[in-house]
Structure 1
Amino acid sequence: MTGNTPSRPDKSRGQSREDRLKAALKANLARRKAQARARADEAGNKKNEEKE
């Protein structure tokens, strides 16, 4: 007996993995962009403070 879980075709499992990887990549890219913006803002604020 194989249990109660239905077997899935390989295509749907591969597509599911691909979708998860795509979502993870998108989230990672968004996080890195936010970090870069924060660093740029921080650097800009330090330059403005030095001028005053």
Structure 2
Amino acid sequence: MKINGGGKKKMVTYPTRYRACKEKKYGEVVVKVEGGYAVMDAVEYRIWRKQK
């Protein structure tokens, strides 16, 4: 996730899981989304998973 000037987080998708794993940091997870793979922190993942 990248932070824009307004404090909102922008979802970045990667074409392959390998590329997403290279970009993730400690405490983040790689998830499959429409259009590829995304990286999000564990707290956001739990919220996203419950909404899904």
Q: Does the TM-score normalized on the shorter chain lie above 0.5?
A: no
More helix by share: 1
TM-score normalized by structure 1? 0.22
Higher relative contact order (CA 8 A, sep 6+): 2
TM-score normalized by structure 2? 0.22
Q: Which structure's CA Rg is the greater one?
A: 1
